[in-house]
Amino acid sequence: MARDHSSGSSSEDEEEDLHSLIPQNETKPPPRRFASFEIDANALKSRLARGFSRSRRYLLALLLLPVIFIFVYFFVDFGRVSRAVSAVRADTPADLMRESELHALFLLRNQQVSLLRLWNRTLAAEQSGSGKPSLSPSPPPTLNSNSSLEEFRSAVLDQIRLNKQIQKALLSSHRAGNASVESPEDNVGLDLSGFGVDICKKVERPVERRAIEWRPRKDRFLFAICTSGQMSNHLICLEKHMFFAALLERTLILPSPKFDYQYDRVLDINHINECFGRKVVITFDEFSEMKKKSMRIDRFICYMASPPCYVDDEHLKKLKNLGISPGKIDVVWPEDAKSKVQKQRVAGDITGKFLSNDEVIAVGDLFYADVEDEWVMQPGGPLAHKCKTTLQPSRIILLTAQRFVQTFLGGNFIALHFRRHGFLKFCNAKDESCFYPIPQAAECILRVVEKANAPVIYLSTDAADSETNLLQSMVVLNEKTIPLIKRPDHTSVEKWDALLYRNRLGGDTQVEAMLDKTICALSSVFIGSSGSTFTDDISRLRRAWGSASHCDEPLCQGELPNFIAEQD
């Protein structure tokens, strides 16, 4: 899993940072001949009026029409035909073909109206609670589940968008010499707001979740050891330590900033304890005050076998300088050292190997630990508490993020985590590379912008200006540039970040990285970088806060880069 970077001051260098059927019960009508690009629109309307049960069968044929128009338009060389007969009289086949194209445009607009009416009928059917129509003797499968209905709606909307693209393509060759030709937007627009459309609606949090109580035994502690990677990796490691502490009924000790990051500058530690209604997490200073000069680790347990605990001599020296005697290091699964793939384990494996009556135990490193992954990754986490999430940004960072959104972005914006620094080599070493050329990345971003209908994009990135400037020049939809907004440098004129500097948190790279994550977590739609733990932490917050949307996805999801460099 890759370590990660954010924008400018939020850089985290995480190198290790996913046959058309004719109804048999009907008399086949006599065949009719149609002129090129001609469609019987009245027949289309009468068929749609026979009932929603039969409409799905004809809808399939209806939705194929745009594909036929695309094929004819793009694979028949109208230019060559036009050039060959340019000296012939005005009513030549070429002119008739162009007239047919305009007629096709008219019919396509009618098709869009029909599709929108069909869309409206699905909403009416859902609202009235009618599961299946009664007019058809052999009704097709009904849309009786939310998932099926959503899939159906999505398919219809895709065709409506495709219809609009076809209109623009067909119209483009006529507009230059005929200013009276209307734009598609002048007739049938694509404003779906009145049709109950919310493609990027929020993902509903599950009503119930699997959770265990965290009730620490008196005077039993778990010392968190997180040494792998940068801050995003450490936060994932810390979340897993909380799970282990609950399983082992221990109070979690956050490490000293002299050994690890200063977590209380970016996390709300009091919030964690308030969520559980008891003291479950203490800082190293609290532990030191409690134990005075008798600080020690009675048992140092390694989840990772090689290297043991991911603790090197430098980290052991730091522990000793803190007055802590680490004791003997115990590897619980030494056989894992020979395995290239981390073995999946369950809660019972942890209690069986780590449960003890020792006063203070240390466990490390848990970043790569694969224990009850689905349980741990569920919204809100695996522990029973009264909050949306326990591990979240400090109050000051959250307020600063909200003020930034109010100042620059507004309530509807896309957040893009565009990881670049150190990511080229990391991605190309994977089976499927995740490092995309700027033009391809811009195309992927525009697809999300069209679905989300957001006016701005917040850009969290470590990319150079040469890359972001090129990206900005290519993020253009319907001849309108979509601004890519980065967090500006501090200036006393702007007050959105005053809280940070008033509390002496301004300029701290880890604080600014967490600020970037928080802004991204507040967005309407989030585009992440596949394989980045910075992206993973943002997604965790969005699931927990209920801000995750159905349009959230990694950049260019399901695609490979259209060019991949060779390995060095």
| pLDDT band at residue 35 under the 50/70/90 scheme | very low
pLDDT at 567: 86
pLDDT at 171: 65
Fold equal for 221-377 and 395-554: yes
- Please give the model's pTM, rounded to 2 decimal places: 0.70
> pLDDT tens digits, residue range 204-260?
888 888 999 999 999 999 999 998 889 999 999 999 999 999 999 999 999 999 999
Average pLDDT, the chain: 79
Q: Which fold has domain 395-554?
A: Rossmann fold (3.40.50)
Which residue did the predictor score with more confidence, 306 or 255? 255
In this structure, which amino acid lies at residue 374? E
DSSP state of 142: P
| pLDDT band at residue 84 under the 50/70/90 scheme | very low
Please, is 321 exposed, middle or buried when counting C-beta atoms within 10 Å of its C-beta (0-12, 13-18, 19+)? exposed
pLDDT at 564: 92
> pLDDT tens digits, residue range 490-522?
988 999 999 999 999 999 999 999 999 999 999
495 in helix, strand or coil?
A: coil
Domain 221-377 falls under CATH 3.20.20.30: no
Which residue did the predictor score with more confidence, 52 or 159? 159
**CA–CA dist 300, 350 (Å, integer):** 15
pLDDT at 205: 84
Element of type H or E holding 123: helix 93-128
Give the residue-averaged pLDDT of 22-26: 37
Q: End-to-end CA distance of the chain, in Å?
A: 21
Give the residue-averaged pLDDT of 108-128: 68
Domain ranges of the chain: 50-195, 221-377, 395-554
Q: What angle do CA 435, 439, 441 make, to 5 degrees?
A: 45
In this structure, which amino acid lies at residue 254? L
Do the beta carbons of residue 232 and residue 534 sit within 8 Å?
yes
**C-alpha dihedral over 170, 175, 179, 180, to 10 degrees?**
-10
Give the residue-averaged pLDDT of 530-534: 93
**CA–CA dist 133, 114 (Å, integer):** 19
pLDDT at 122: 67
Do the beta carbons of residue 505 and residue 399 sit within 8 Å?
no
Q: Which two tokens stand for residue 452?
A: 């989300």
> Which of 310-319, 418-427, 449-458, 537-546 has the weakest average pLDDT?
310-319
Do the beta carbons of residue 96 and residue 104 sit within 8 Å?
no
Count of residues making up the chain: 568
- Beta strands 476-477 and 480-481 are antiparallel
